[in-house]
Each structure stands twice: as C-alpha cells, then as structure tokens.
Amino acid sequence: MSGVLLLEQLLNGVQFGVMLFLMAAGLTLVFGVMGLINLAHGSLYMVGAFAAAAVSAATGSFLLGLGAALAAAAAAGALIEVAVIRRLYARDHLDQVLATFALILIFSEGTRWLFGSFPLFLDVPGWLAGPVALPLGIDYPKYRLAVIAVGLAVAAGLFWLIAGTRLGVQIRAGEADREMIAALGVDITRLYTLVFALGAALAGLAGALVGAIQSVQVGMGEPVLILAFVVIVIGGIGSIRGAFVGALLVGLTDTLGRVLLPLAMVHVVGPQAAATAGSAVASMAIYILMALVLVFRPAGLFGKV
C-alpha cells in the first residue's frame, strides 16, 4: 500500500474522529453536568441531517441547510429537555435508559411518517465539490477537508466556552457540585436546558455534515450514538478532553483498521480468507481497543477514579 493512500486514510480517520467528537461532546457534557444517560442523542443527529437535507433541497443553499440543522436540533433538544428529560435527572439510570429509548422510537417513527422510508440526499455544495491538492501529492476531497476544519474549529470553540466563559464556569461548577451552583444563585433549570440544547446542536451539526457524505435516513444516528458511547468510555465520562482524544482514537482505529487489517491478515490466514477475516476483525477493532483501555484504566483515559 502506498504512503499517499495511507495518508488519505489517516485524514479520513481524523474526519470521522472529529464528527464523533461533536456527538460525544454533547453526551459527555449532559452526563457530566446532569448525570443523565441520553440514548436519544442519536435522534438529534438524525434531526439535524433531515433538517439540513430538507432546507437545502428547498432553498438550494447548503449553508442555510446547516443553519437549519443547528436550529432544528437545538430546538428539538430544548423541547425534549423541557417536556421529558428534566423529569429524569433525579431518576435512576434504568428509567433514563427506558425514557430515552422511548424518545428514539418516537423520533424515528415520527421522521419516517414525515419523510417516508427512503433516504434523502444532501448534496455537497459546488464550491466544496471536487478534490484539493495537498502537499506530498495527495488529492483529497475538498468537502472532507472542510468537515475536518469545521470540526476542529467547533472543538476549539467548545474548549474556549468551557474554560473561558461565564457559562463554562457554571458548567464546571455543575459537574463538581450541583447544590453549590444552585446556592450561588445560578438558574439551574435554565442552565440545564441550555447545556442540553448545546449538546443537541452539536449532534445536529454532525448529522448535517455527515449527511452530505452518507445518505440521510431514519436510524442513521444509532450506530454513531453507540460509537460515541465507546468514545466516552475510552476518554472518561464527563471529560471533554477525554472525548476529543477518544474520538480521534476511535476514528483512526476504525478507519485504518478496515484498510490495514485485511492486508495484515494475508500473512496470517492467506489471501483467500484474509478479506473476510480482516473485515470481521476490523469491525471489532474499536471494541477491542475499548476493552484494552478498560482493563488498564477502568475510569477511561481522562476519567476521575
């Protein structure tokens, strides 16, 4: 395999990783601040993708679509936070799992009812179509490069938000001691809704950005949701930094595993079985990574013990 191809796959892994980060960041924030496990986070990703596809198809503008994705996912997030989620903060994890599982059923079937079962397509805008020439003679799709840039920019913004703003101070205080911030006069109900909507918007953005690479369909959020869980377990629950490192690790392991493992298997089981054995092992690679991290660092790479 050529070095150029490998570098391309490396970039693909990074692109996958930053998208996973957008998903995992919201999940880990919501868990860290509110102590809630939210299975319906994948539905917000789907909402973002559908909103982007519908609006950009109607207006012809990709950017309007992105805006719609952010707005729709944030609104959907705020809505379910007010209507359902806030009743779950004091409940045990089983209730949270069930209620958010119920939300998935409602979101998925509701979307199917509105848009039908056929996938929608979100086109890459003309100004981002085609390849771009990178150093070392790599031709890389301009859109994927833009996705990486947007993902990294959002990650930087999020770190700044947490570290350097008033809202960030409140969020960090909320993670450390819930009673304390209420006692300090922070409107905790509003803070929770805000954090949830922020997480939802990030998920919606990821859905819209990925929607132009894959197809937009019901249930698209669930595989990503579970990968985001893997990211959080690896990074440590509640840690944004852990989510970032975990997301890149998972993105790279998955992408490179699918390319390299079938090649490596040739030496082990011979060329005939290599393709199947390789792809089967590659599909499990990130879970094996997760198991390994768990054995050596049970609380994740950046988790508090």
Partner 1 sequence: MRRETIVNAALALGLLAFPLWAHWAGEPFYITLATRAAILALAGVGLNLALGTGGLVSLGHAAFFGLGGYAMGVLAWHAQMYTPMQVFGMTVPGTKSMPVIWLVAMSGGALLAALIGALSLRSSGVYFIMLTLAFGQMVYYFAISWPAYGGEDGLSIYLRNGFPGLNTLDPLQFFALTYAVLMAVIWGMARLRASPFGLALAAARQSPARVQAVGIGVFPLRLAAFVLSGAVTALAGALFADLNRFVSPSMLSWHTSGELIVIVVLGGVARLYGPVAGAVLLVTLEHVLGGVSDYWQIFLGLGLLAVVLFARGGLIGALAGRAVAHD
Among positions 92-121, residues that touch partner 1 (CB under 8 A) are: 93-95, 97-99, 101-106, 108-110, 112-113
Whole-number Å distance between alpha carbons of 203 and 129: 24
The stretch near partner 1 (CB under 8 A) out of 154-162, 163-171, 182-190, 232-240 is 232-240
Q: Does 298 bind partner 1 (CB under 8 A)?
A: yes
Q: Is the dihedral of CA 183, 185, 190, 196 positive or negative?
A: negative
Among positions 255-284, residues that touch partner 1 (CB under 8 A) are: 276, 279-280, 282-284
Among positions 233-252, residues that touch partner 1 (CB under 8 A) are: 233, 237
List the one residue out of 189, 195, 210, 224 whose CA is nearest residue 28.
195
Q: Does 302 bind partner 1 (CB under 8 A)?
A: no
Orientation of helix 166-176 relative to helix 3-34, angle to 10° = 70
Instruction: Provide the minimum distance between the beta carbon of 245 and partner 1 in the complex, in angstroms, as a whole number.
Output: 17
Q: What are phi and psi of 124, to 5 degrees?
A: -70, 130
165 vs 214, which CB is nearer to partner 1? 214
Quick check: helix, strand or coil at residue 61?
coil
Q: Does 153 bind partner 1 (CB under 8 A)?
A: no
Cβ atoms of residues 121 and 216 within 8 Å: yes
Supply angle C-alpha 126, 128, 132, rounded to 5.
Answer: 125
**Residue 81 in tokens:** 């936070």
Which long-range contacts (C-beta less than 8 Å, at least 24 apart) are formed by 291-294? 293/233, 293/234, 294/233
- Which of 185, 295, 296, 305 forms a contact with partner 1 (CB under 8 A)? 295
Q: Does 84 bind partner 1 (CB under 8 A)?
A: yes
- Which of 31, 45, 192, 244 forms a contact with partner 1 (CB under 8 A)? 31
Q: Does 156 bind partner 1 (CB under 8 A)?
A: no
Which residues sit at the interface with partner 1, rule CB under 8 A?
Answer: 31, 37, 39, 84, 87, 93-95, 97-99, 101-106, 108-110, 112-113, 222-223, 226, 229-230, 232-233, 237, 276, 279-280, 282-284, 287, 290-291, 294-295, 298
